[in-house]
Chain A
Amino acid sequence: MQPERIDEFEWRIPIGTVPGMRVPGVVFATEELIGKAVEDRAVEQVANVATLPGIVEASYAMPDIHWGYGFPIGGVAATDVDAGGVVSPGGVGFDIACGVRLIRSDLDWERDVKPRIGELVRTLGQRVPRGTGKGGRLHLGRTTMDQVLAEGVRYPLAVGIGVEEDAELCEDGGVLDTAVPEHVSDRAKDRGGDQLGSLGAGNHFLEVQVVERVIDPDAAAAMGLEEGGVCVMLHSGSRGLGHQICTDHLRVVDQASRRLGIEVPDRQLACVPVTDVVAQRYLGAMAAAANFARANRHVLTHAIRESFAAVFEKAGERPRKGSSPPLGMSMVYDVAHNLAKVEEYKVGGRVRTLCVHRKGATRAFGPEHPAIPARYRRIGQPVIIPGSMGSASYVLVGTTEAARKSFSSACHGAGRAMSRTKARRVMSGVDLVKQLEGRGIAVAASQPKLLAEEAPYAYKDVSQVVRTCEGAGLSRTVARLVPVGVVKG
């Protein structure tokens, strides 16, 4: 399947490429990136998504597209809620509201952190729960779990974790009020009960990073980023709770979808109209998982700040105001890349209510959008793009143009290019640690054996992905960050 070239950064898959397509497919990519997407058959998945009932404009894919299960990773699909548009739990994925958070600091790399990076990464490794299995920072009973599911970051804030400003700098203010904890099964609550404030395994990580280059000084200043400054980037999701919610609801949606006679080319695309009771239950549970994911990153942020304070703050040395985090460690932003949201866009000359699925794609609202924090209203919503472990990461902002081009969506990372098994064959985890350390990057990994699965060579070039988003008009680049410390699950 070879897409048609529209311009340097846009490719089209015409209606009819697979039976039942209702709209074309559009992939934002360079020639090199589209080649990879064709090769791993992710382009075929873009075409499959175009068959979803009620889909409008196009089935989109971001430049970091790769083969997923059902939806491609990097896929964006918007359906018209009032015209039978569907929601597909597979279009959100099992790690509901997995996302990225960036925390800045007043610390300078050369002056403050470089001499103590080893100690810092060890401390983070000890204080931040990670890896497979149990053991988050907070254990939740049934009542407190329901509070987290309903209140998101408001719950940890109410018990004295974090600072008020953290909520404001989180997508949705850290809480989706559409959450319905009753639609979350006891099993999902069991699975997540011990996991609030834990990083998880797989591609989840936290990195200590240095702002290497500021590309947009005005936007960088609004975010408190300057060259040489030290930041922490955190990538984690809704843990076992979110996985079980997807599992539970997918099962019901799969049955309902067939009962309603909805035909999809891949069973993982099972879907039901947004207005159906089955969809409403899923969306209520999905929002609860999103609240859990934000609360999880919020609690992890606290562990990160504690670790920094333990290493860099001596008693009485740096007096701190009660309402501000230690060492100037304010949040820059927190944004998810696996979520379905009801948003309004102008389609075909009128404003419509759409259910926008972003599966491995980041919401990227442009300047003046009312849903973004006041301090960013002028520059656009921050979009945080983690590179592969040990490579560069980026901070972008959304554009006004993206609303028209991709339902305000941009990329979410580098995108995998190699299977995990293959990645492990290239190099052992131990050798990879040596290589990273040789480049001056301190590493704490709980499963060194599996570390090579996440090696930089297993991913696409994040810089090319980011350049493509900018070239296609989906986002603007603000700053480039490089890692100096990696903490892996």
Chain B
Amino acid sequence: MAGLEERPPFEILEHTADIGLRARGRTPEELFENAAAGLLEILGAAAREGSTDVEITEEADDPAALLVHFLDELIYLVDARGARIAAITVRLQAPTRLRARVTWTASGEPLGGTELKAATFHQLSLEERPDGYVATVFFDV
């Protein structure tokens, strides 16, 4: 399981009031993992090492909504539990069903980045392209 900081690409997008993310992946799993890495960068909630493992299971009507629910789950962990996340492995059991393992440690310190309220459905997209998968999601700051 590679550390998140070694993983490739996501871009952080500008929005008048909020922040967006464009993530890519060769597989849907990699797309979800890269989106998570982008989220952690915005939050400043990545950790070098984790002490606890938690399993997240999510189901949605469509893959884009699944991504929103997954990212919301991570925001919840960070906000409610003070989680600082060291690694995430995603397994898609179907395009709309996910199981992820999150390795994290609790922190009482303030976040290193921007606090986010939630992932939104605004201009949400998740597409398969010839070279892989691309998703765009905006967060409410």
Give A residues with C-beta under 8 Å from B. Answer: 40, 42, 66-70, 73, 90, 93-95, 131-134, 187, 190-191, 200-202, 240, 243-244, 246-247, 250-251, 254-255, 258, 266-268, 270, 416-422, 446-447, 450, 453
User: What are the residues of chain B within 8 A of A240 when measuring CB–CB?
Assistant: 79-80
How many B residues have CB within 8 A of the partner chain?
A: 31
Asked whether B14 lies within 8 Å of A66 as measured between CB atoms, the reply is no
Q: A69-B123, A94-B120 are in contact. List 5 more A-B contacts (CB 8 A).
A: A42-B16, A66-B16, A68-B17, A69-B120, A132-B111
Asked whether B122 lies within 8 Å of A268 as measured between CB atoms, the reply is yes
B:96-117 near A, CB below 8 Å = 108-111, 114-115, 117
CB proximity of A97 to chain B, nearest CB, Å? 13
User: What are the residues of chain A within 8 A of B12 when measuring CB–CB?
Assistant: 421
User: What are the residues of chain B within 8 A of A191 when measuring CB–CB?
Assistant: 76, 79-80
| Complex CA distance for A413 and B76, rounded to whole angstroms | 29
Q: List 11 A-B contacts (CB under 8 A).
A: A40-B16, A67-B16, A202-B114, A243-B117, A243-B118, A243-B140, A268-B121, A268-B124, A419-B14, A420-B114, A453-B114
Q: Is B19 an interface residue (CB 8 A)?
A: yes
Asked whether A267 lies within 8 Å of B124 as measured between CB atoms, the reply is yes
Task: Name A258's contact: one of B17, B61, B108 (CB within 8 Å).
Answer: B61
Asked whether B17 lies within 8 Å of A416 as measured between CB atoms, the reply is yes
Interface hub of A69, A95, A201, A453 (most chain B Cβ within 10 A): A69
| Complex CA distance for A94 and B117, rounded to whole angstroms | 7
Known: A94-B117, A247-B72, A267-B124. A69 touches B14 (CB 8 A): no
Known: A250-B121, A270-B121. A134 touches B15 (CB 8 A): no
Q: Is B65 an interface residue (CB 8 A)?
A: yes
Asked whether B16 lies within 8 Å of A69 as measured between CB atoms, the reply is no
Known: A133-B82, A419-B16. A254 touches B115 (CB 8 A): no
Query: CB-nearest residue of chain B relative to A191?
Result: B80
Asked whether B16 lies within 8 Å of A268 as measured between CB atoms, the reply is no
Q: Is B141 an interface residue (CB 8 A)?
A: yes
Asked whether A131 lies within 8 Å of B120 as measured between CB atoms, the reply is no
Known: A254-B65, A267-B122, A268-B122. A132 touches B14 (CB 8 A): no
Q: Is B69 an interface residue (CB 8 A)?
A: yes
Q: Is B55 an interface residue (CB 8 A)?
A: no
Asked whether B80 lies within 8 Å of A70 as measured between CB atoms, the reply is no
Task: Name B111's contact: one of A133, A266, A421, A422 (CB within 8 Å).
Answer: A133
Query: CB-nearest residue of chain B relative to A240?
Result: B79
